[in-house]
Structure 1
Amino acid sequence: MKQTLIVALIIIAGAAAAFVGLRNEAHITTNVREILPPWIGYAFTGEGEHSMSRKVEAGKTFAEVAESFGIGYEDMLAMVDAAKDTYNLEKIVEGKEVSVIVNETTGVLEKFLYQINNEEVLVAEKQENGWTAERAPIPYETKRAEIEGVINSSLFAAITAAGGDERVALALAEAFGWQIDFVTDIREGDSFKAIYEKRFLNGNYVAPGNILAAEFVNDDRITEGIYFVTSDGKGGHYGPDGLSLEKIFLRSPLSYKYISSGFSYNRLSPVTRTNWGPHRAIDYAADHGTPVVTVGAGTVSSAGWNGGLGNAVFVRHNDTYTTVYGHFSRVAVRKGQKVEQGQVVGYVGATGDATGPHLHFELRKFGTRVNPLTIELPPGDPVPAGDKERFAATLAEFAEFFGD
């Protein structure tokens, strides 16, 4: 209650204050630092400077957030213009951190920070001749940690039982997500071990970072991988053979409860109980509004109403593969838009010929629908030839961990 009251007072005060008056809030903000999370803004605050940070609330625009700090309209326009080639500030995202840094003596605004993602922050800085803007890495302090365990019910339960938080489970599932479906493939007795990064900010643990090395034993099948950054700056997980663990497609397009209807060449209608003919798709049962991601990069060839599929999205990945996502409550992309693997394309619904909320998912190869659960997908790209020696050295670093 005390924390909520203090935060509320700061928000109310910030909306009315000019920056010359912010120095009067320094004492309140200093007290709040002891009970709020380790804000990114503190890491960019230098000697003689004072920072204030907030999370973007649902439905708030950049102008509303900036105004809550007392930032004037001219500075808002100048910041948006300076950042236009770096990040579109008019598309700020709910939950991201925004910070302002002011001169502790004069109260003059010096910097405006916006958290782009978990790796980078936009830093807009006021200079004598106007505003500049650039992306900067979040200055985490990183330490290594090791975790291992056996699965009795779920990966999340096993990770927490071993002393990790759920975000470690998410990172591990993401690293092996192209090899293992963590909903359908997991078996009791499966085991894992991993070396991962623990990230600290201002001396406080923030989140896990990269999974540096990991081994997962699934139904007696061993999958191993290490994190490696190629010379062109792209980081990813590779097996000991030097092949990327990332395949052209993710194993599934959403976090689902169960498969309500599998791929088949003959099934009954759930409504009329008459023969509906083949169902060459996978139906994933999930809560209404669950975000659905594209399993691979490509171009949206259709987005919108599509008869029995209801609100649907078609993504053309290349000359060979197209994926289809149906029964959305809401579509999140438009026709012609380029999408990246893992990007949200819509939200689970029950539109069209659906009897309840679920995702209808198709994988088409040369126009023919194939079973996405059984088809053998192309392997990942290998480590570039120029990086093989450095990759071998990185793999050797974890030889003891893998028991080699």
Structure 2
Amino acid sequence: MSSRTLPLNFTLRFGGVASATQPRWILGLRRCSPCVGTGLAGIAPATTPGKPSVTVLQKRIQQLQNGLKRAEAFAAKHPRALNASVLGALSCFAVTAFGIAPMAPDAAELPRRTLVESVATNDIAVQLDELASHAVALTRSEATRSSDTPDSLLRRAGAFDPVAAAFLRADLLGRRVLQGRSGRMVHVTADASGQVQKIVVRFPAERVEQQGSHFTRLTIERDGSRFTARTETAPLQAQVALGSGSIRTSLFAATDDANIPDAIASQMADMFSGDIDFHRELRKGDRFSIVYETLTADGEPIQWDSGVGRLLAGEFTNNGRTYSAVYFKDSASGKASFYGFDGQSKRRTFLASPMEFSRITSGFAMRFHPIHNTWRQHNGVDYGAPTGTAVRSVGEGMVEMAGWQNGFGNVVQVRHGGDRSTVYAHLSKIDVKKGQRIEQGQRVGAVGSTGWATGPHLHFEFRVGGRHMDPRAIARASEAITLPGYARGQFLQTVASVKTQLAVAETMDGVVAAD
């Protein structure tokens, strides 16, 4: 049986004239000439250009639908007359789309022209008068010097004002600008003629308990022909800084190379003192990364004291082993301490060091005695520090002895329970009395050079059953304080945050502000 092929070849044509903003489209249905006589012959061609109306579009769509229905009817009436060639014919359907280029010319091809217009300008004298009518104020910052006078300080700040200098000499508050230690930052605002308009000085808070958290702001302002002065206390603001470094000779040399303040280096030594003996166990190539606070007054880093706040977190790799710690404050109890990332406190029953800031000068070993000129077993650890540096008890207990003893000079001995006791010798001052109960970290005296000492230092001993023991070994073996369970969630959030900061700090050498 012969088969018939249906040469169905339709074209959907989209065209028309487009504007610059909205193209116009037309819909046309074109039939192939072979389709004449088939069930699709009722579809009229679309040859009229332009934008068709909605009625025309609907009419042509209806024609297409009617033609398809006729094709279906033909297929149902002659099923065997159709074969795979129908599919080939249907593949002749084509959909074409084309856009009509906008009628407007390309902007790049448009001719260009230059428009020149004369603008009248004021006379130079008029302009100068106008500028003179605007007040000009210049602010300059200078650090005070020990040799400064009010006049010399103001001259360095670009001000020439005898009235202001006289106020700094005569006024009770004005004199405080140059009182105390040098290095205070003074901000002087003067007008174009050099007359002082305002002086702002910032220095440590007067109350001792506020000196780590607040500062004093002294403000002197011109009020007509005279000056007024006032002081106020404001809180210091903390900014986060990241730092890292590596050991080449010593911990303090490494922190010096990384521009990390000594106060932070001391806190880092205290943070990891239960894990690392910074006097005997440091190795060349050891690395550390830290997160800490810098303190600012009115957005400016403070110049007094260390200029830093607390150490927030740290990692220290010593001899291939990494130790981690984070500062955490329990919001419920208000207690704060350093904790390992596992939640175990770095603060144990006994502190590893009786001093917050120290550079150990000799370890637990034989040494050459400076007075007797003989080799003797040195039963303890000597901490070199300036006279007057605070000495703290490494654990809670009762003062067993506080007074003078040959060789030791001023000495304090503390009983910690059982057969354990500690000795603090060569003190310049004793701050406790015999029989007094003391807490861990409480001050017992100050570094000195009394007794058989060639220079200011603290001699520290830890005794168990009357025998001299290595203080650091005792501290490491002492019981650690565990983080309360209710604070675990808050603690883990803190740890996750500082881990990210420490990862950033590890990639650099030196200090970078994180805020």
**TM tier relative to shorter chain:** 0.5 to 0.7
- Give runs of ≥4 in structure 1 deviating > 6 Å: 7-12, 50-55, 267-270
C-alpha change, 1:10 and 1:4, in structure 2 (3 Å) is farther
The residue number in structure 2 matching 1:233 is: 334
Q: Give the alignment partner of residue 213 of structure 2, picking from 113, 119, 126.
A: 119
Q: Give the alignment partner of residue 311 of structure 2, picking from 199, 211, 226.
A: 211
Q: Give the alignment partner of residue 301 of structure 1, picking from 375, 382, 400.
A: 400
CA distance in 2, matches of 1:157, 1:229: 31
CA distance in 1, matches of 2:458, 2:261: 29
CA distance in 1, matches of 2:210, 2:361: 33
Are residue 139 (structure 1) and residue 242 (structure 2) matched? no
Matching residue's letter, 1:4: D
CA RMSD of aligned residues (A): 4.3
Q: Give the alignment partner of residue 268 of structure 2, picking from 165, 172, 184.
A: 172
C-alpha change, 1:224 and 1:283, in structure 2 (3 Å) is closer
Q: C-alpha deviations, 1:105-138, integer Å up to 9, x for none?
A: xxxxxxxx5554413689xxxxxxxxxxxxxx96
The residue number in structure 2 matching 1:201 is: 297
The residue number in structure 2 matching 1:391 is: 491
C-alpha change, 1:361 and 1:11, in structure 2 (3 Å) is farther
Are residue 258 (structure 1) and residue 361 (structure 2) matched? yes
C-alpha change, 1:362 and 1:170, in structure 2 (3 Å) is closer
CA distance in 2, matches of 1:9, 1:336: 57
Q: Does the 8 Å contact 1:114/1:121 carry over to 2?
A: no
Q: C-alpha deviations, 1:233-277, integer Å up to 9, x for none?
A: 11211101100112233323342452176379xx99963859x7x
C-alpha change, 1:261 and 1:149, in structure 2 (3 Å) is closer
Are residue 249 (structure 1) and residue 350 (structure 2) matched? yes
Report the alpha carbon displacement of residue 229 of structure 1 after superposing the two structures with TM: 0.8
The 3-state SS of whatever aligns with 1:172 is helix
Q: Which has the larger displacement, 282-291 or 165-174?
A: 282-291
The residue number in structure 2 matching 1:371 is: 470
CA distance in 1, matches of 2:277, 2:186: 34
CA distance in 2, matches of 1:290, 1:271: 26
CA distance in 1, matches of 2:323, 2:166: 52
Report the alpha carbon displacement of residue 199 of structure 1 after superposing the two structures with TM: 2.2
Q: Does the 8 Å contact 1:212/1:227 carry over to 2?
A: yes
Q: Does the 8 Å contact 1:243/1:379 carry over to 2?
A: no
C-alpha change, 1:280 and 1:157, in structure 2 (3 Å) is closer
Are residue 36 (structure 1) and residue 184 (structure 2) matched? yes
Q: Does the 8 Å contact 1:300/1:314 carry over to 2?
A: yes
CA distance in 2, matches of 1:383, 1:165: 29
Q: Does the 8 Å contact 2:168/2:177 carry over to 1?
A: no
Are residue 149 (structure 1) and residue 248 (structure 2) matched? no
C-alpha change, 1:315 and 1:390, in structure 2 (3 Å) is same
Q: Does the 8 Å contact 1:244/1:383 carry over to 2?
A: yes
State the identity %. 28
C-alpha change, 1:154 and 1:51, in structure 2 (3 Å) is same
CA distance in 2, matches of 1:138, 1:365: 49
CA distance in 1, matches of 2:274, 2:166: 47
Aligned residues: 309
The 3-state SS of whatever aligns with 2:473 is coil
- The within-5 A match list for 1:323-342 is 323-337=422-436, 338=438, 340-341=440-441
Q: Does the 8 Å contact 2:177/2:201 carry over to 1?
A: no
Task: Report which of the two structures shows the higher radius of gyration computed on alpha carbons.
Answer: 2
The 3-state SS of whatever aligns with 2:495 is helix
CA distance in 1, matches of 2:168, 2:440: 36
CA distance in 2, matches of 1:359, 1:221: 30
Runs of 5+ unmatched residues, structure 1: 40-49, 56-95, 99-112, 123-136
C-alpha change, 1:11 and 1:345, in structure 2 (3 Å) is farther
TM-score normalized by structure 1? 0.62
C-alpha change, 1:359 and 1:142, in structure 2 (3 Å) is closer
The residue number in structure 1 matching 2:52 is: none
CA distance in 2, matches of 1:163, 1:288: 22
Report the alpha carbon displacement of residue 323 of structure 1 after superposing the two structures with TM: 0.5
The residue number in structure 1 matching 2:84 is: none
TM-score normalized by structure 2? 0.50
Report the alpha carbon displacement of residue 377 of structure 1 after superposing the two structures with TM: 2.7
Matching residue's letter, 2:184: L
Runs of 5+ unmatched residues, structure 2: 1-144, 154-164, 188-197, 217-232, 504-515
